[in-house]
């Protein structure tokens, strides 16, 4: 009986530890006057493998499936179309697009 209880406890703790943690972001108005509705986002953890927007994941609040390539995946190597990929001070990777803006890509 002890083994069963111990096994159930271990499985419960493992499930909770691997669950996506999320944070509610309040609605706000951008400087150009556009209103962004409040929404949930996954808690920041320096990777996109568990983000709602990443391939293979589903947003439990909206039911939408993710479309972005996972960090370090083979699909991540196809981003940037020959552009030089740079790494920012916080570890994000990006290239400078034709408008001169940073376009962030999955880590490769």
Distances (CA, A) of 68 to 26, 87, 92, 106: 24, 18, 15, 8
Per-residue HEC secondary structure of the chain comes to CHHHHHHHHHHHHHHHHHCCCEEEECCEECCCCCEECCEEEECCCCCCCCCCCEECCECCCCCCEECECCCCCHHHHHCCCCCCCEECCCCCEEEECCCCCEEEECCC
Q: What are phi and psi of 11, to 5 degrees?
A: -65, -40
Whether this model's pTM surpasses 0.85? no
> What is the residue-level pLDDT of the chain in tens, covering all 108 positions?
666 665 555 445 544 444 557 889 999 999 999 999 998 887 777 777 888 888 888 888 889 998 888 877 766 666 666 777 788 888 788 888 888 888 888 776
Q: How many CB atoms lie within 10 A of CB 77?
A: 13
């Amino acid at each position: 009986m002890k083994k069963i209880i111990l096994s159930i406890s271990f499985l419960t703790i493992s499930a909770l530890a691997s669950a996506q943690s999320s944070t509610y972001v309040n609605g706000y108005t951008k400087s150009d006057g556009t209103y962004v509705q409040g929404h949930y986002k996954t808690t920041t953890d320096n990777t996109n493998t568990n983000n709602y927007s990443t391939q293979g994941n589903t947003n439990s609040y909206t039911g939408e499936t993710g479309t972005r390539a996972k960090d370090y995946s083979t699909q991540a190597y196809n981003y940037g179309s020959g552009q030089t990929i740079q790494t920012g001070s916080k570890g994000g990777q990006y290239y400078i697009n034709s408008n001169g803006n940073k376009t962030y890509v999955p880590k490769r």
